[in-house]
Structures are given as C-alpha cells and as structure tokens.
C-alpha cells in the first residue's frame, strides 16, 4: 500500500469516527421524513430520489409541509433555495480549509456538505487544512444513510413513534451547541453569538419562511467584521 | 399505500428543481471564494461564520420553544464546556430535555 493510500484510510477512519454519532441521529430523522412524505402520497422511489438529490433535511421537511396538488413548483423551489442559502456561507468558509484537496474534486465534495458534516469539518479545520480522507469520512457516509432510511421511512409509513418522547427533536440542537462551544475565542465570539441569536429570533418571529438562519448568520458575521480593527493581523 | 415505484412526472420535476436549487447554494460558496485572498476584515468575517450560523440555526429551538429546551441547552453547553465528547454532550442534551419536559417545564 502506498503512503498516500494508507493515510487516506487512516484519515477516513478519523473522520468517520468523529461523524459516527450523527449516523445514529440521521437514520431516525430520515425515517421520520420518509414517513411524512408517504403521508403526502410519496412512493418509496420518490422519497429516495428526493433525499438523494436534494439532501438537505430541514428544507425537505419544509417542502413536504408545502406539498399539495396542484404542486406550487416555483414557490417550492424558491423557498427551498432560501432555506438552504446558509450552505453558501458553509461552502465559502470551509473552502479555505480545502487547499490540500484537488480542486477538481471540490464540486463533488461540496454536494454532500450538510449542516452536520460542515460543522464537524470546521471543528477539525481549527487544527489545520482538511485531508481528502477526513472530509470523505465525515461527509460521504451520511448521504446513503439519509436516502436509504428516507426510503425505509416511506415504506413503513405513518406508524413511526413520536420523536419528541425520546428527545430526538433536540439531538441536532445539542450537537450544534456542542460544536458552537468549540469556536469560542473570547468576548468577540460572545458578541457574534448574541447578535446572531437576537437577529435570528426577530427574523423567526416577524418573517415567515427560513430567512432567520441567513439573516442571523449574516448579522453575526457583520458584527465580527465591524469589531475587527485594521491594525491587527 | 402509495406504491413502491410510482413516479409522478411533475413531482420528479419539482424534486430535480429543488435539488438544483440546493446544489446552487452549495457550489456558489465555492465559486465566490475562488481566487479571493482571505485576510484582514474578510478573514475576521469568515472566521465568524461557524459560530454565527450555528447560533442562528439553534435559536428557535433554544430560545423560542420553551423552558425545558432553554434549560437543556444550558446543560448541553455546560457539558461541552467541560469538554465532554460529542456523543456524551448530545446525550446530556436529549436526556435533560426529556427529563425537564417530564417534570413539567
């Protein structure tokens, strides 16, 4: 085995291990989505296709909520675009840590960049540039998990239990809180978080749809830019 | 039962459209950064993307749902602050939210 292949394997394993808890959360949430889709008339094939092609959980729940005949296709596409605009910030931020990965692979790798994969990759990126193996280990296994369990959920249908009972609805929030703490760099981070949270709350309260993530996120980023003084590195 | 392999053509169109819209959000972040030198204020801004967006994502759950969720979020943050591993931290969050709801918060 060449050194490169060996290090791909060990880096893949490191990424897979960091991401593994997420597999346990993805599977039931995907099944829940599949079951809601089945409730709107989705076949197993349609649920599979949507989870494989769109692959963005929150926006898929939004789309299912909007699903009715006749299908408001344009409105749905625009809504999904807005709900998913945060991925633009994710990709812009993580691309800075992808310098050691062949650029021709970037368009493929970015396809599987979900909230969770991105958050875990950014945490690793605090220590240095990402390797191809690590990124693949984090981001790729989640994709089949998501679409396979979506299809299973659509097959099982409405008989799934209530995720609120076992606290599953809180699992992703807990993960994001945990990763958020890893980005703490002092009072400025506190200011960024406070501004983001305040704007997101206002946006969530006053504006329908998924704007709150983008508006809160941008407000926090703007606060960070404003707090930066030119004489520092 | 909706059938296993039924495919409505308009639904497929909607699914492909939503897939393209989502991929556009992902790829545009890459294209935007191509050839950009990241330093100074831009670097400060991009460094703030992870904490800022993560906070915005959790705001409705953590701040706008109920006492149980807000208190569970504090317990979760505490576990993370004490450097508990990710899986343990998630379990702390889930167990405390279930417990707090059970206690009637």
Its ipTM equals 0.86
- Two tokens, residue B105: 């918060």
Distance CA A115, CA B54 (A): 9
Q: What is the CA radius of gyration of chain B?
A: 21
- Mutate which of B54, B75, B87, B99 to test chain A, going by most A C-beta atoms within 10 A? B54
- Contact check, Cβ <8 Å, B21/A77: yes
Distance from CA of B29 to the nearest CA of A (A): 4
- Two tokens, residue A4: 């490169």
Distance from CA of B11 to the nearest CA of A (A): 8
* Contact (CB, 8 A) for A53 and B11: no
Q: Is the pLDDT of residue B74 over 80?
A: yes
pLDDT at A4: 60
The answer to whether residue B22 is domain-embedded is yes
Enumerate the residues of chain B whose CB falls inside 8 A of the CB of residue A170: 61, 69, 72, 93-94, 97
Among A39-53, A59-73, B58-72, name the one with the lowest average pLDDT. A59-73
Per residue in B12-71, pLDDT tens? 999 999 999 999 999 999 999 988 888 889 989 998 998 999 999 899 999 999 999 999
Of the candidates A144, A101, A150, the one whose C-alpha atom is nearest the C-alpha of residue A121 is A101
- Contact check, Cβ <8 Å, A73/B54: no
Distance CA B60, CA A172 (A): 12
Per residue in A169-185, pLDDT tens? 788 888 889 889 888 88
Q: Is B55 exposed, middle or buried (0-12, 13-18, 19+ CB in 10 A)?
A: buried
Distance CA B85, CA A123 (A): 13
pLDDT at B86: 81
pLDDT at A163: 65
pLDDT at A32: 86
- Contact check, Cβ <8 Å, A183/B54: yes
What average pLDDT is seen over chain A? 90
Question: Phi-psi region for residue B6, left (φ > 0), alpha (ψ -120 to 50) or beta?
Answer: beta
The answer to whether residue B4 is domain-embedded is no
- Mutate which of B9, B39, B59 to test chain A, going by most A C-beta atoms within 10 A? B59
Domain that holds residue B63: 9-102
The answer to whether residue B74 is domain-embedded is yes
Per residue in A166-224, pLDDT tens? 777 788 888 889 889 888 888 999 999 999 999 999 999 998 777 888 899 999 999 99
pLDDT at A158: 62
The answer to whether residue B85 is domain-embedded is yes
A171-181 and A3-39 helices, crossing angle to 10°: 140
Q: Is the pLDDT of residue A17 over 60?
A: yes
How many domains is chain B partitioned into structurally? 1
- Mutate which of B31, B48, B68, B87 to test chain A, going by most A C-beta atoms within 10 A? B48
pLDDT confidence of A147, banded at 50, 70, 90?
A: very high
Give the mean pLDDT of A105-120. Answer: 96
Number of residues assigned to chain A? 233
pLDDT at A169: 77
Enumerate the residues of chain A whose CB falls inside 8 A of the CB of residue B69: 170, 173
Give the mean pLDDT of A125-140. Answer: 96
Enumerate the residues of chain A whose CB falls inside 8 A of the CB of residue B26: 84, 87-88, 90-91, 110-111, 113
Backbone angles phi, psi at B9, to 5 degrees: -70, -35
Distance CA B90, CA A167 (A): 10
The answer to whether residue B94 is domain-embedded is yes
Q: In whole angstroms, how far apart are CA A44 and each of A64, A144, A145, B13, B87?
A: 14, 15, 15, 17, 31
Write the residue in B23, B44, B64 that is nearest to A204 by C-beta.
B64
């Amino acid at each position: 085995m060449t050194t490169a292949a060996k290090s791909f394997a060990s880096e893949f394993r490191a990424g897979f291990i960091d991401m593994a808890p997420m597999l346990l959360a993805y599977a039931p949430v995907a099944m829940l989505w599949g079951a809601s889709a089945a409730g709107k008339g989705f076949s197993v094939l349609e649920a599979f296709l949507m989870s494989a092609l769109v692959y963005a959980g929150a926006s898929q729940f939004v789309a299912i909520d909007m699903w009715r005949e006749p299908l408001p296709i344009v409105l749905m596409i625009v809504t999904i675009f807005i709900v998913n605009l945060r991925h633009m910030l994710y990709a812009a931020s993580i691309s800075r840590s992808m310098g050691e990965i062949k650029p021709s692979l970037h368009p493929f790798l970015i396809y599987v960049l979900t909230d969770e994969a991105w958050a875990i990759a950014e945490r690793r990126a605090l220590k240095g540039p990402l390797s191809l193996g690590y990124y693949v280990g984090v981001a790729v296994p989640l994709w089949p998990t998501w679409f396979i369990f979506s299809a299973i959920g659509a097959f099982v249908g409405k008989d799934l239990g209530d995720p609120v009972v076992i606290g599953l609805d809180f699992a992703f929030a807990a993960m994001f809180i945990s990763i958020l703490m890893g980005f703490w760099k002092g009072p400025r981070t506190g200011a960024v978080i406070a501004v983001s949270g305040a704007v997101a709350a206002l946006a969530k309260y006053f504006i329908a749809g998924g704007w709150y993530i983008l508006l809160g996120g941008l407000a926090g980023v703007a606060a960070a830019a404003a707090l930066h003084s030119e004489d520092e590195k | 039962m909706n059938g296993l392999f039924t495919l409505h053509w308009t639904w497929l169109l909607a699914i492909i459209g939503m897939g393209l819209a989502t991929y556009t959000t992902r790829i545009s972040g890459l294209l935007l950064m191509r050839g950009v030198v990241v330093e100074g204020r831009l670097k400060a801004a991009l460094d703030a993307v992870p904490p800022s967006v993560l906070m915005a994502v959790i705001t409705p759950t953590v701040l706008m749902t109920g006492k149980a969720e807000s208190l569970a979020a504090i317990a979760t943050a505490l576990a993370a602050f004490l450097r508990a591993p990710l899986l343990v931290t998630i379990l702390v969050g889930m167990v405390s939210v279930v417990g707090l709801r059970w206690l009637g918060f």
